[in-house]
Each structure stands twice: as C-alpha cells, then as structure tokens.
Structure 1
Amino acid sequence: MKLNDVLFSFKTTLILLVILAIGAGYATFIENDFGTSSARVLVYNNLWYEAILVLTTINLTGIIFKYKMWKSKARFIFHSSFVIILIGAGITRYFGYEGIMQIPEGQTVNKMHSLEPYLQVTIKDGDKVYYQDFQEEFTSLFPELNKFSHQISFENKLLEINYKDFMFAKKEQASMGLLSVQVTLDGKTQDIRLPGLRGQQGLPRDLTFDNIVVTLEYGSKIIDLPFAIKLNDFQLDRYPGSMSPSSYASEVTVIKEDGKSYDYRIFMNRTLNEGNFLFFQSSYFPDETGTVLSVNNDPGKWPTYLGYFLLTLGLFLNFFDKKSRFWKLTKFVSGKNLASIAIIFACTFVSTSLQANETKEVDTTAQTVDYLNKLKDESLQTSEKFGRLVVQSNAGRMKPLSTLNREIIQKLSGKATFLGMTPDQLILGMLSKPDVWKDVKMIKIQTPKLKKFLGVNENEKYVAFSEVFRNGEYLLAAEAEKALLTKPIDRGTYERDIIKLDERLNIMYSVFNGSLLNIYPKVKDGSSEDDNYKWYSPLEAMQVFSGQNQAAVESITRGFINAIVENKWEDVNNFINMISLYQEKVGVDVILPKSKIDAEIWFNKLDIFFKLTLAYVLLGLVMLAVAFIVIFKPTFEPKKTTTIFFIILATLFSLHTFGMGYRWVLSGHAPWSNIYETLVYISWSAIFAGVIFFRKSLLALSAAVIIAGIFMFTAHLTDVDPQITTLVPVLKSYWLTIHVSILTASYGFFGLSAILGFLTLIMFIFRKNRPHLDGIIKHVTAINEISLIIGLAAITIGNFLGGVWANESWGRYWGWDPKETWAYVSIVVYAIVIHLRFVKALNTPFVFATASLLAFASILMTYLGVNFYLSGMHSYATGDPVPIPTWAYVTFTIVILTILLAIKNKDLKESI
C-alpha cells in the first residue's frame, strides 16, 4: 500500500477529524477544572494537536488534487478555504500575540502587558543590571510534564533556574497559580515560589546571593509599543436606574513615533487599528477613572478573512451546483412527491390555555373567601389601569407594571393566573392586605420531603407564606443556608426545592412591602443619581425624596393603599391617574410611550409562545401517529392528510414568526439574546425546515413539529426565565443578528435530523417481512441528509461569521472559549457524518441514521452543556458541575436500546 493511498484517503480524513473533535472537546473540561494553561499545554498548543492539524491540511490538499475538485467550482472553493483558514491560523499562532493595556484618564501609555506568561529574571550585580525572560506555560493536570532548565551567563558567572513544582487552584471566580523554582549561583542554591498565571501580572520575588540580587517574576511581561495612546476621556453609560453598563467608550489620542497624532473613539464593536495592532474596549477601572484595552497583534488576519469569504461563497454555490450531493438528494426526494416551495398562510389561531384556576388549593376562612371573591369581581378594570403604569427593572429596562406583575405571579405559583384573578389583581391585593395574603396558599412547592419538614399535607401543591414561619421563626433558615452551601452537583431535588422556595418567599415579602415596584422617578436636583434616571419604590421614594416631592409621593401612596383596602375603586383609579401623571412629568426622559405599553400588555395576554407549545406537542404526536399508520399500511392514501397537516403547520409557523417579530419590536433587539429566546428560535428553525424543504413528507413534517415542541416545552420550564432583558454592550451589534441567527438556526435542522434518524431506526426494528419499508427508509435518509447539509452549512458559516465579529469587536477571532470550541467540535462531528458515505462499509442508511442521532449530543453540549457546566464568556455557568438532569439519562437509554434493537435488520445498502 502506497503512502499516498493512506495519507490521501477518506478513512484517514475521518480518523483525523475524530481526533480533532475528541481533543478539543476534552480540552474544554481540562480548562474548566485545571485552568486555561493546562488546556493549552496539553491540547491546543501541544505538538500532537498541531501535528494533527497539519496532517489534516495535507490530507485535505491531497484529496482536492486526487479527486480533481476544481472541476466543481463550489466544492473546490469551500474545501480549499479550510486550507487557507488553517494557514492563517498557523500564522496567527506563531507570529501573533495578545495583551492588555491599562490607561488612567488623562495619561499617556506606550506599554502593554502580554497575555502569554513569562518567567522574567532580573540580575543586579552592583551597578549592572541583566534581564532575560523565557516564555513558559504549565499544566496542573500532569505536573510531571512541566520541566525546564534555563541558564544565564553574566560577568563570568552562571545562574541556573530549574523547574520544581507548579500548583493551580480555583476559588469561586478567581484562579491562582504558584510556580516553584530552584535557583543556583556560585554553588549556592535557593528555592522560591512565584505567584502568577497566564494573563495575570506576576509579583516580583527577590533572592540574594552575597552582593547579587536576583529578582524573579512569573506572569505577564511588559511589551513596548511603537506608539503611545493617551486617554482623554472614559465614558460609561448605564441602563436607567441600574448598575448594568449599557455602553462604555474611550476617547483616545494615538501618538506616533514621528510626532504625528490623531484622535479616535474606541467602544464595543469598534476597535482601533494601528498597524498590525488592534485595540478593543475590554473593561474599565473599578472606580471608572481609566480604561482597559485588549491588544492583539495578528499578521494572520487577512489570510483568515480570505478563507472565511471563500468558505461562505463555496457553501452558498454548493446549493446551486447541479453536480453537488445536495442537488442529487433534492432531485431524488422531489421524485418522491416533494414539490416546489410554497407557504400557505391562514388567519385563525384557536388554542385553549391550560392555566386552570386553583381555588381548591386555598384553605381559608369564610371571611377570606368573601374578600377574595369581592376582589376578583370588583377590581378587574382598576387592576388593568394599575398594570399600565411604567416600572423600572433592576437591570434598567422600562416596562409596563403588568409585565412585572405577570413575572412575579409566574415565579410564585408557576401559573400566569391564579385563583381566577389576573396578575394585576393579585398584586393589588398583596400590596394592600399582606396580612390576608400571607395565609393564602399560592407559593409552589414540590418535594414530599420538604412538605413533611414544613408539616404540610403531601397532596398540597402550594404553601402559604405564613406556613414557613412559626412563632416568628423562619423554619427554613438553617436548611436554606445548608442547601446554598452544598455544591451544585451534590444538590438533590430537596435542596433545589428549598432554594427555590426561599427565593419565592423573598419575592413575596418584596411584594408585600412594594420594594419591587420602582414606579417613582426622582425630580432632578443636581445629585449624582439624576444622571442615570433612577426610579424608586414607594418606601425608597419616601426616604430619598425631600420637600414637596416626598410629601406628594407619601400622600399618593398612602391614599392609594387605603382606597384599595376600603374597596373604593373610583378613588383607586384617581390615585393611579396621579401616579401616571407624576411619571409622565418627572420621568419624561425614559418613560415608555402609551403605544408601547399597550403593545406589550397585549403581547403578554396573547401568550403566543406558550400556546404554540401546546399546539406543537399535540400536533406532533398526532402527525407522528398518522405517519406510522401510513408507513405500516401502504394502502392508506396520505396525500390529503399531509396537505391538511401542512396548512395547520404553516399557520402555526406564521404565528410563530409573528410572535418573534413582535418580541423583537418590544425588546429593541433580535430575539435570540438569552436562553429562552434561543430555545424559541431553534423551534422556529425546525418548523422552517419542515414547511420550506420537506412539506410533502408527513414523517419529516411530524419530526419537525416534535423537535419544535421539545424545545418550546423546554423554554417554558420553570427554571427558564422568559422575561425580556437588556443587552450587555458587546451584543449591541448587527453581528448579533447575523451570527447568532445563522448559527442557532442550524440547531433546528440538526434536531430535525436527529428525530428523523430515530424514526428511521424504529423502521429498521420493524423492517423484517415488510419490504415496502426499504423505500421509505431511503427516502427519509435522503431528507435527513439534506437537513444535515443545510445545518452544517449554517453552523459553519455562522461560526466563522462569529469569528469575524469577535475580531472586529474584541480584537481576536478565536480564543478557544468553550462555546467556540464546542461549536467547532459540532462542525467536525457533522462533517464526519456527512463524509461517512465515502467509506464503503459505512455507506448504509443504518449507519447514517445512527450517526445523525448520536451527533446531536454535540449540539446539546454546545447549547446546554457549555451554558451550565463550563465557564466562559458565552456561558451562564460558574464552572461548578451541576447535576445531570434525569431526562438526559432516560433519553440516552432509549437511544441506545433503539440502536441495539435496530442492528439485527441493518443490512440495507445505500442506493442514492
């Protein structure tokens, strides 16, 4: 066998890709537990991983020539782009460097601190000073691999520095490193420990050898720049009334060596480019008196950008290349009754909310029942007026009070309404008569153990605020503290329920005293708070305001509460009008226009996404059942049934699109900036795949609806916060719309592919003595592969567009952040699945179905695993492990059993 046959074979390609994916994925866990340096030393910057990348480049180049890919322009362009990208990455890796520049306001700086760690040695021998540094990085996972020995000659003397030990520790959000070295001079040896880590400035330590002082330091070193930067002004804007930054910027002057200078404004998503150096707004001094700029010197930028451009162009052209695999599959599927693209829109949407009234949960006296019924019957119109007041969230978002009320009741009870009353009615009651509401069972509780601890009946779904207190003592005090101190991975359902109950009790107490209702803007009086338009809760306003304003707020608030207590609803309406008038007059700079208040309240009442969840789950189950009837009963005519289902689904899809667009308008940014929004968007992309590409395949349509229902159901779990949030500064970019929309949309196609793979395996289980299933399996496999090709193109383009965004916003396009890395792993995994057909033994529908199903695990890790298990700038986690949910084990078991049952009938060869 020739070397060329091995080096330039698809088997080698698959093996190399598997190694790259496993290595990168494992490195993210190494980084989380043992620090960034360990991941870099053992994987990212290690010779073995770089060798695999080089071999992959050689293998890909050889395959391009071996199969004369230039005959197909699209295929040649996007395969060649990876070679160019890898070359650009190599240039960046070996010739580029990064650092941090800190500039106090009004000062000029021409130095930066390197991101790479160095062992820095300064020798003072009388009046003479000698300096030398050595770039070193260590792993705490396998400390035996950490070895170095450096020698420095000076004045006929030899200083030896030998590695001894390295320790790494994580404490909450901070990481610490401690390097121990042995220093020898003139036969005398001393040991010293040097605190320091990658990206951190070290602390100098001195050793004295007679009259010679040796200073050692481990960490970032100072690098001189060929120009200087003066910070003229640092500007920080916050969201109204909050400490959350809305944006921050640095007004600087760049002073060159020739004396020429120019002014520039650096802010998030706008970098300063001077020569090969990029400066981007990274952070700022805690006291806001200076700026922190990240610096990147990257000579590999333009080769990489060229590769990105060719990649996008090649993948786009591939969809129109009549010789491409995509075109061949599309032609095969269209021959099986897949017609041209069309979407049918309908105008009706009927869905019944399952938010049932739970009056039976309330154990109260007759007097309380009478009060609740009266409040329910008489307060509706007034409560709607109350909900139209504007409130300022802690994060600075201005929204209708109705939205906050809804969020509070949802958090407390898990329901959008309760006791037959709207959230606005409930909050009105809780504000005015906390002594009554403390005895109303409306706080959700789940675990029998916690119910037993509180002395509550095991059949109860809710507890009252007063039931958690006895003789003035908080019953959960010790248990809550114990649960919070327990590591997340060790918390059971009991501990998690305690933490949730403790949070709900705090929320309810905050409702009783009105501290969540920031409804009073402060009249400008020249104080520092005026600049940020902070609004205050009633009690805060009475304490902070002064003079007539304080008197007015106190009079309105007391009158408002008393009128509710006395059921004088006309008076309550008048006080609400007074508050509204006060808001319009004093808070004119940030108050919402009435049209936006109406729009958000209407959107909340519509509750479109929850209703879509119910519709998708029910419709998906019905469609799947009908699809299997069609499969196992070929005489059944599915054409009209498929058309009806398509019309219903297209209607739901159009409403889903409308809901996302409406939320976009309300929030002022693309609706995929938090976990709830991305779950909703992934569901949308799955339905998009069904109604656009596979609308005549009942099985594919049902798979699309099922994956949409799963993600929508996940979005509406109690742990997922659906509220509209403000954006952090870095996300205020058009790149958010482009990068996140394309990349996240791919998850819908991959989810559809996973479901189709699972359904295909089920058909393999029942394939024996049913020859007609073979044709259906091949048809579904073709649809599956089309979905994968579209998904792979989307995730690849989206990921590399994210690299461009990162480079333009943060000064570097790749940093091995866990989210970036797992997106890269997912690309490699799905590239492997797509290319399995080039290995004869693996070119079967069974293998493809199995691979497409198992590959979705990489997407789940990218989307959920990174967010909750690994630390990073894309992550919601702290890096502490949390319990793997039960559904993950159940799903894994079902998948493995299905694969094992399908193996016996796997001998169906590929014929497309």
Structure 2
Amino acid sequence: MKRAIALTYSLIVATMATATWIEHFRGTEFVARHLYGAWWFTLLWALLAALGVAWIVKRRVRRWSTLLVHAAFVVILLGALLTHLTASRGIVHLRQGATVDTYLAERPDGSTEELRLPFRITLDSFRVHYHAGTTAERDYTSHFTVSDGQTVLRGETAMNRIFTFRSVRLYQNAYDPDMAGSYLAVNTDPYGIPVTYTGYGLLFAALVGLLIDPRGTFRRLLSDARLRRGAFLVLVLLSIGREASADPLIVPRETADRFGRLHLLYSDRIAPVQTFAIDFTKKLYGRASYRGLTAEQVLMGRLFDPRGWDKEPMIRVKDAALRRQLRLPRYASVNHFFSPDRGYILGTYLMEYEQGQRDAFHTACVDMDAKIRLIMSLRDGSALALFPHADVYGAVRWRHPATPLSPGELPRMDALFLRSYLSLLREQIVKADYATANTLIEKLDKYQRLHAGGTLPSPMAERAERLTNAFPFATVLFIVNLTVGLLALLYTIRQLVRRHDAPRTDRLVRRATLGLLLLSFAALTLCEVLRWIVAGRAPVANGYETMLLIAWFTLLFAFVAGRRFPIALPFGALISGFFLLVSHLALMDPRITPLMPVLGSPLLSLHVSVIMMAYALLSLTFICALTALLLAAIGRRDPERTAERMDALRLLSLLFLYPALVTLGVGIFVGAIWANVSWGTYWSWDPKETWALITFMVYAVVIHTHTWPAFRRPMAYHVYLLLSFLTLLMTYFGVNYLLGGMHSYA
C-alpha cells in the first residue's frame, strides 16, 4: 500500500508540474479540458484520498492533529468534486434599463450554452471609481434590481463584493466601453462551496494543531534535550571612453530640487516630480544620478536643453548583440540612434518585431526604443502631467502641456498657463535667470495646491516618498546582509572544524553580527513602513515588494530562532541578502503603483504575507541543508562529530519546516477564499497556485517519518530538502519569468 501511495502521489505532482508547462505552449483552455478536467486526474485524487484513509486506519493513527489534517484534505477534495459535478459558471451581460433572465454558462468542452436564471435582473446604473486625481480604476459598481415573481430586491456588486440571491452568486466582472453596460460573473455552487469551506476551516485548525499538540512532533522538537543542555553551542554563530562635446545645460541643484518637489501624475498616482526624475534617469543610465548630477538636474537638462543633452552618452546599451549589430558603445547618446542616411536605426527592427520576429535581439531593440520614446515624451511634454483642474463634475484631472483641450474645458487663463508654463520656465533657465525660474516653480506649486483638491499626497506621505527616494534601501542592505552573512558563515564553519574553543572571540563576533543585522532589520522595516505610507496599502503588490517582504520575514525568523540556535543568524543574513540582491538587480520594478481593483482586499494582503513567511522559512531549511552537506564534505576525518552536527542541523531545519508548512498551507487556502470572493472560483489551476500546491506537497513528504523512516537519517533528509528548494524557486521565479499567469509579477 505504501508503494501505491507513493506512486499516486508522485503521479499527481508530476501531472501538475507538466501541465503548467503544457499550458505555457498550448494555452489554459487546453490543459483545463485535457488534464485538470480529465476524468483520470479526478480519479487520481480520489485514489490518493482512499489510499491515505486506508493507510491511517491500518496504522491506527490516534493523534488528533494528524487525523484532523488528513480529514480536512479529504473534505476539501470532496467539496472540489461536488463543485466539479454540480456547479455552473457563466456570464450575464446587462445593459442599463434592460431586463434579462438568462446567462451564458461554460461547458466542460469550453463552449457555452444559454441557461435560465431563477430570477429576472435589470441594471439600474454602473459606475467606475477612480483613484483621486488619476485615471487608475479603483473599483467598479453595478446597481441592479432582481425579481423572482414574489420578491423584488435592489442589489449591487463591486470588486470583492458578492451579491447572492436564490443560491446564485453574482460577481462584478467587466463593463462596456460606453459605461452603460456591465458583465457579471454567475456562479451557482450550493453544495461544493459549503463543503469546501468546511474543509478549509478544519485545515486551518489542524495546521495550528500541528504546532500546539503536546504529543505532536513539533512540540517534541522544542523539548529536545539538546536545546535544554545547550549542545547547539557547538554550532553557535559567534558570528557573526566617451565622445567629446560641448557641455550641456546644467541647472543648479537648488532650482532642480525645487522643481523636484512639484507633483505630477505618474504611474497612475500623484507623485513628486523627483520620483519621476529618478525613474527616468535609472531607465536611461541604470543609476539614479549621472556624472555627479542629481536625477532632477538630469530631467531639467533634458527638458530645457534637448539638443545639448542629445549628445550625452547616458543611454545604457545592456545587450551585447545590439551593440555589435548597430555598432553602439556601452553608453550611447540619442544622436547614435539617428543617421542621416538611415533615419531611426531601430525602425527596421521594430517592424520586424511586429511581424513576429521575437528573438532576443529584436526584444532588445524594443526595450531600447522604449528609452528613446521616454526621452521624446519628455521633450513634447506629454510625460509631465503637472497641471490639475476639476472638470464640470468636480473630478480633478491632471493634464500635461500637450493635452487636447475642448472649447471651454478650462478657464482661459488656466488654459494659457498650461500651454505656456514650460516655455516661460525654459526661457528663464536658458537665460540663467534662476531667481525668476524659482519664482515660476513656486507659482506652479501654489497652482497645484489650489486646484488639486484632495488628490495631493499628505505631507507625511510626501516626506516618506522623498526619504524612500533618497536612500537606496535594497542596494545598501543586500551588500550589508550578504557580507555579514558570508563572513559569519565562514567563521562558523571554521569554528566547527577547529579543535580548540575561543569563547571571547566567539562572543565578540556574535555581538557584532547581531548588532549589524539589527541595524539592517531596522532599516528594512523603515523601508516597508515608508512604502506603506506612500502607497496607502500594504507593500505586497509586485515582485519588488514581495522580495523585500521575504527578506524582512527571513531576518525576523532568524532573530527568533537565533536565541536558541545562533547559527540561524548567518543563515538569515544570507537568505535575506540574496532576496534583496534580486530586488536590486533591476529584475523587478520598484515603482509604487495603485492596485488593480480586484486586488484591493484584506484577504489578499493576508494571503501574500503568510505565503512570504512560508517562503522565508523554507529558504532557511535550504541553508540548513546546504551547510549540513558542506560539513559532510569537509568533516570526513571526524565522522562521529560531523554526524552529530548534521543531526543538530536537521533538528533546526525541522523547527523551520513545521511552521513553514503551516503558513504555506494557510496562505494557499486563504488565497483560495479570496479568489472565490473575487473571481467566483476558489481554484483555477493558475501556474502560480499549482506550483504552490506542488511545493506544499513536496515539502510535506519529509515530515512523514513514520511512513518514510529514511528521512530520520540526516543525510537523506538534507539531500531531499536541498532538492525540494527547486520547487520553491520554480513557484516564485519560474512562474514569474517563464510561465506567466494571473499571479505573475514579471
């Protein structure tokens, strides 16, 4: 029976992993129909549940937490089966004033059929809500009337707000461009959802029970005699050429700083001009400054002296093939991209890209074209939405100098101010009359505060953003954490192989390491708080922010574990340093942007935060495994002592692994509840959620030591954990950058 369980379990994991890659090439509809929706895939899950129950009965398992965990999974699978067999999903299209009583339901083969609703529904109104002063959508709301012949009821739906009537759940889905129509998702699942939610409740209780059960493995680990007698002191981290040209116009720093304190509409939010200037300079040059000039000076120079700055070699050309093909230097000027005989040298390659040539070279051409277009948008003023004014409905819009204006849209003096302001400022800058230029900047600041209404950020948010702009948290902290972690780990390894103790040195190194990491943790906490203040939401919206959050949790867990296991400190420093390094390497966009409407849910913040905690803990088990295998390689002359240390590292790893599995399980299923509230389906087999489930299933194997006693041996345990980390890498980085999907941050 044990082999049958292993085979079925492995087949399910392999099928899910393979399906995510097939989906990448064949599409979601194909895998939904031929893999996830296939009868044999359902049968595999049913077989696994039956074999698991039979094995528990055979082994006469009596521990309540273990029984509850497995019972919860059986109930969840039963709920999924009921949903698969009895639920109906579809879309109803409403037009204002029209009454409908049917919807288009999805069939298993991907087609649709028209089914009748148990009531009639009439759309009364639809409204899009925007973030103040921007065109970024904050929410959608449909107001309607439903009637079943006996009851007439007014209702509404919005993102993350469901309307339920006669066992039918309606979700806001989309809307017509003319704002007179709305699409609502329809979900009828009266049996599957209650059973599934019951399973989730049992699972949450069971996972917590794994940590608090006095007879459970985790509590026994905490009571291990080696912790009481300080045997882990053996492992203590005692730790721890360019083209010549005339100089372009350079605006004095004081004037540029004043200009940077103005506000503009950028990335669908109102931000300081300084933020745009920094992102502008980073996009072109790769750094936040250029030859000792601040980002604001670069921005104003490019804005008011385009010809002079077109000669500046500040456009970084990262792709080597692009440099070779177009004979470009590593840092090129705008003039390099325009030839008297060829015109815009990227033009031909951009056309080839549009015609389907999507290789690395043509993709690099598109990326380079984005930099040139950014410069051109600054030149024509379309990047500078500096001028707020309320429309006839009282909603504030931020306009740029090139915004088309209809007659009477703005008062005559305001329209003149919008059209002529940058020209007036340019005139003073070119004449080097910076006193008058400063006065003009002050006038625009007063104009913004007069007309922006409530769209300007609060003084606290403004100060927070300027502080975030001033200090490159990720860059500095990844250097600190990696350096401290590497030196501390090397010292620890040296300590493990030396024959004589040096308690004074050990104590000094440990205090220094702890002090540096506490400073790093405080700085990272400040970074997270500042981003929260600026964005007005939890900083969990993109890949950059989740990397910072994982680094923060990793350090937090390292401090907690470090009280008993000092070796956790270098582990935490290294892992957090690597996550901060990834966020620094421009692989992820650090810009702060508003959330999509569907993401504005407390459940989502909880889901992401708990998942990030799990990833941080699992990363620490990886470092434990890596250190143990390194000790095995260098400690062959003293095998008994090496075996003792590897077993101690296994104990430490398990203390990370149990809460990691609990938080990962809770995070996955909180995400499922959020998805059901937002999308009308609690599981859609998106690549990210599929790989998160794979990660959970792979890591869960190693705690079943009664079934698989081989994992009681430190070598087998650490090798398995080392390889299991590949699933975590795939869940986060593989899905983000290779597979895509609705969860992708790339």
What are the Cα deviations for residues 150-184 of structure 1, in whole angstroms up to 9, with x where unaligned? xxxxxxxxxxxxxxxxxxxxxxxxxxxxxxxxxxx
Q: Is the 8 A contact 1:743 1:799 kept in 2?
A: yes
Matched, 1:289 2:157: no
* Aligned residue identity for 2:743: H
Q: Who is 2:643 aligned against?
A: 774
Q: Who is 2:22 aligned against?
A: 30
Q: Who is 1:666 aligned against?
A: 534
**Alignment partner of 1:87 out of 70, 78, 96:** 78
Q: Quote the Cα distance in structure 2 between the aligned partners of 1:717 and 1:63.
A: 48
Q: Is the 8 A contact 1:613 1:709 kept in 2?
A: yes
Q: Quote the Cα distance in structure 1 between the aligned partners of 2:82 and 2:419.
A: 67
Q: Is the 8 A contact 2:218 2:658 kept in 1?
A: yes
Q: Is the 8 A contact 1:246 1:728 kept in 2?
A: yes
* Aligned residue identity for 1:49: F
* Aligned residue identity for 2:22: I
Matched, 1:479 2:479: no
Q: Is the alpha carbon distance of 1:858 and 1:751 closer, same or farther for their aligned partners in structure 2, counting shifts above 3 Å?
A: same
* Aligned residue identity for 2:244: T
Q: Is the 8 A contact 2:171 2:680 kept in 1?
A: yes
**CA shift for structure 1 position 420:** 0.6
Q: Who is 2:117 aligned against?
A: 225
Within a 5 Å distance, the mapping from 1:55-94 to structure 2 comes to: 55-70=47-62, 72-94=63-85
* Aligned residue identity for 1:806: A
Matched, 1:331 2:196: no
Matched, 1:106 2:106: no
Q: Quote the Cα distance in structure 2 between the aligned partners of 1:485 and 1:624.
A: 52
**Alignment partner of 1:749 out of 613, 617, 624:** 617
Q: Quote the Cα distance in structure 2 between the aligned partners of 1:436 and 1:546.
A: 36
What are the Cα deviations for residues 812-839 of structure 1, in whole angstroms up to 9, with x where unaligned? 2112222222221111111123325632
Q: Quote the Cα distance in structure 2 between the aligned partners of 1:647 and 1:338.
A: 24
* Aligned residue identity for 2:490: A
**CA shift for structure 1 position 432:** 1.1
> So what's the TM-score if we normalise by structure 2?
0.92
* Aligned residue identity for 1:111: T
* Aligned residue identity for 1:533: V
Q: Is the alpha carbon distance of 1:448 and 1:658 closer, same or farther for their aligned partners in structure 2, counting shifts above 3 Å?
A: closer
Q: Who is 1:792 aligned against?
A: 661
Q: Secondary structure at the match of 1:319?
A: helix
**Alignment partner of 2:466 out of 601, 608, 617:** 601
Q: Secondary structure at the match of 1:834?
A: coil
Larger-gyration structure (1/2): 1
Q: Is the 8 A contact 2:268 2:594 kept in 1?
A: yes
Q: Is the 8 A contact 1:255 1:262 kept in 2?
A: yes
Q: Who is 2:559 aligned against?
A: 691
Within a 5 Å distance, the mapping from 1:263-412 to structure 2 comes to: 263-298=154-189, 299-332=191-224, 334-335=227-228, 337=230, 363-365=243-245, 367-368=246-247, 372=250, 375=251, 379-393=252-266, 395-412=267-284
* Aligned residue identity for 2:655: I
Q: Quote the Cα distance in structure 2 between the aligned partners of 1:507 and 1:555.
A: 22
What are the Cα deviations for residues 430-478 of structure 1, in whole angstroms up to 9, with x where unaligned? 1111111111111111344433444445xxx311111221227112222
Q: Secondary structure at the match of 2:703?
A: helix
**596-605 vs 724-733, greater mean Cα deviation:** 596-605
Q: Secondary structure at the match of 2:500?
A: coil
Q: Who is 2:733 aligned against?
A: 864
| Superposition misfits of 4+ residues, deviation over 6 angstroms | 541-544
Q: Is the alpha carbon distance of 1:822 and 1:847 closer, same or farther for their aligned partners in structure 2, counting shifts above 3 Å?
A: same
Q: Quote the Cα distance in structure 1 between the aligned partners of 2:170 and 2:675.
A: 12
Q: Who is 1:613 aligned against?
A: 478
What are the Cα deviations for residues 118-169 of structure 1, in whole angstroms up to 9, with x where unaligned? xxxxxxxxxxxxxxxxxxx3xxxxxxxxxxxxxxxxxxxxxxxxxxxxxxxx
Matched, 1:633 2:498: yes
Matched, 1:723 2:591: yes
What's the % identity of the aligned pairs? 27
Q: Quote the Cα distance in structure 2 between the aligned partners of 1:554 and 1:292.
A: 40
Q: Quote the Cα distance in structure 2 between the aligned partners of 1:607 and 1:501.
A: 25
Q: Quote the Cα distance in structure 1 between the aligned partners of 2:17 and 2:327.
A: 47
Within a 5 Å distance, the mapping from 1:493-532 to structure 2 comes to: 494-522=361-389, 524=391, 526=392
Q: Quote the Cα distance in structure 1 between the aligned partners of 2:353 and 2:682.
A: 40
* Aligned residue identity for 1:14: A
What are the Cα deviations for residues 88-125 of structure 1, in whole angstroms up to 9, with x where unaligned? 212212122211111111112111111115xxxxxxxx
Within a 5 Å distance, the mapping from 1:894-905 to structure 2 comes to: none
**Alignment partner of 1:534 out of 397, 406, 416:** 397
* Aligned residue identity for 1:597: E
Corresponding residue pairs, total: 730
**CA shift for structure 1 position 336:** 6.5
**Alignment partner of 2:288 out of 393, 406, 416:** 416
Q: Quote the Cα distance in structure 2 between the aligned partners of 1:255 and 1:106.
A: 14
What are the Cα deviations for residues 737-770 of structure 1, in whole angstroms up to 9, with x where unaligned? 2111101221111122222222222222223212
**Alignment partner of 2:681 out of 807, 812, 816:** 812
Structure 2 unaligned runs (5+)? 234-240
* Aligned residue identity for 1:691: F
* Aligned residue identity for 1:317: G
**CA shift for structure 1 position 514:** 2.7
Q: Quote the Cα distance in structure 2 between the aligned partners of 1:634 and 1:411.
A: 53
Q: Who is 1:844 aligned against?
A: 713
Q: Is the alpha carbon distance of 1:510 and 1:336 closer, same or farther for their aligned partners in structure 2, counting shifts above 3 Å?
A: farther
Q: Is the alpha carbon distance of 1:484 and 1:531 closer, same or farther for their aligned partners in structure 2, counting shifts above 3 Å?
A: farther
Q: Quote the Cα distance in structure 2 between the aligned partners of 1:634 and 1:324.
A: 37
Q: Quote the Cα distance in structure 2 between the aligned partners of 1:535 and 1:104.
A: 31
* Aligned residue identity for 1:540: T
Q: Who is 1:39 aligned against?
A: 31
Q: Is the alpha carbon distance of 1:658 and 1:624 closer, same or farther for their aligned partners in structure 2, counting shifts above 3 Å?
A: same
Q: Is the alpha carbon distance of 1:452 and 1:865 closer, same or farther for their aligned partners in structure 2, counting shifts above 3 Å?
A: closer
What are the Cα deviations for residues 606-638 of structure 1, in whole angstroms up to 9, with x where unaligned? 222322122112112212211211122252443
Q: Quote the Cα distance in structure 2 between the aligned partners of 1:676 and 1:565.
A: 39
Q: Quote the Cα distance in structure 1 between the aligned partners of 2:182 and 2:145.
A: 13
**CA shift for structure 1 position 795:** 0.9
Q: Is the 8 A contact 2:311 2:334 kept in 1?
A: yes
Structure 1 unaligned runs (5+)? 1-5, 118-136, 138-197, 199-218, 341-360, 878-912
* Aligned residue identity for 1:260: T
Q: Is the 8 A contact 1:836 1:848 kept in 2?
A: no
* Aligned residue identity for 1:557: L
* Aligned residue identity for 1:416: A
Q: Who is 2:700 aligned against?
A: 831
Q: Who is 2:236 aligned against?
A: none
What are the Cα deviations for residues 647-694 of structure 1, in whole angstroms up to 9, with x where unaligned? 321231232122112211110111111111111111122222211124
**425-434 vs 825-834, greater mean Cα deviation:** 825-834
**CA shift for structure 1 position 583:** 1.0
Q: Secondary structure at the match of 1:538?
A: coil
Q: Is the 8 A contact 2:94 2:183 kept in 1?
A: yes
Q: Who is 1:431 aligned against?
A: 303
**Alignment partner of 1:873 out of 733, 742, 745:** 742
Q: Is the 8 A contact 1:642 1:697 kept in 2?
A: no
Q: Quote the Cα distance in structure 2 between the aligned partners of 1:498 and 1:440.
A: 20
What are the Cα deviations for residues 223-260 of structure 1, in whole angstroms up to 9, with x where unaligned? 11211222111111234565542210111112123x21
Bigger helix fraction: 2
Q: Is the 8 A contact 1:318 1:324 kept in 2?
A: yes
Q: Is the alpha carbon distance of 1:439 and 1:777 closer, same or farther for their aligned partners in structure 2, counting shifts above 3 Å?
A: same
Q: Secondary structure at the match of 1:572?
A: helix
Q: Is the 8 A contact 1:60 1:83 kept in 2?
A: no
